[in-house]
Structure 1
């Protein structure tokens, strides 16, 4: 048992070192210019340690960001009272702003967007269970709204959050209501 725990700790340490090294390199390099060799050298681990855990640098970033973003989504969806959701969402997006700016600047925004969209789609599926929409309407409405919400939050964060959080929330809520009404009407 101790050997298994030791092996698991080594694996976890390797993943942490690799993640730290990649994030440090992304401060000054675009993702598409980095190589596995650069990352493992900076991390002080072998290429084998990298390939035991990941296939690509994008996989490493996904493994790092997915649990963090998903946990925050879940906290807000299930752990925050309705009256406090707007504030919690605003805090979440303000916390996400530096990551989104780095991702946009260094060429890995698609990873953040994919994780964001998947979480939004999961959230919307719970809401849509109580609507009379067909499965096709639900699927496409969810894709449409997830992409739209991401685009709105992205614009708001990258342009300096000039509008109030309440304005953005009301805008998104209005789009949700109107697009839902158009499908039901």
Structure 2
């Protein structure tokens, strides 16, 4: 395993251990010792790579979204519907973990991560730039809207397919 693969695996392990602990405890009740033991990593690993438990969530979500970006179809300009369809597929794939984070009140971590990726997509012109998308508040608005929509969708059982949700976001955005 390459150093990058090992690093990603450890991040995944500690994230999954955190999700397991969150099923029965709040963030505040989780000890670093218990988390490290469950993840099979050292406490030193935790303290070297994270300041808070939320950092684990942020870094893992970023890893997942980078994976999402790599799965996007090639093309100089992707449509919002395509981007959102793939995003909702990612949410569906991670449904269990997403619902645990939502029940733990960590929606802001999801919004922040989504916003970071959105800014990247805009800066690299992978999302069409308009007067709306260049407004300094648009990214905050859009990130909150998409995450809130994904939360509602998950809580309702994710009945509609990701394609439907991608189209829905495009309709709302236009």
5+ residue gaps, structure 1, are: 178-185
Q: Which residue of 2 aligns with 1:147?
A: 144
Return the TM-score normalized by structure 2. 0.71
Cα 1:113–1:99 change in 2 (3 A) is farther
Q: Which residue of 2 aligns with 1:181?
A: none
Within 1, Cα distance between the matches of 2:163 and 2:29?
A: 39
Return the TM-score normalized by structure 1. 0.67
Does residue 161 (structure 1) correspond to residue 158 (structure 2)? The answer is yes
5+ residue gaps, structure 2, are: none
Say if 2:14 and 2:35, in contact at 8 Å, map to a contact too: yes
Alignment of 1:26-175 (within 5 A): 26-76=22-72, 78=74, 85=82, 88-125=86-123, 126=125, 127-129=127-129, 131=130, 133=131, 138-163=135-160, 165=162, 168-175=165-172
Q: CA deviation at 1:91?
A: 2.6
Higher relative contact order (CA 8 A, sep 6+): 2
Q: Tell me which structure has the larger Cα radius of gyration.
A: 1
Q: CA deviation at 1:34?
A: 0.9
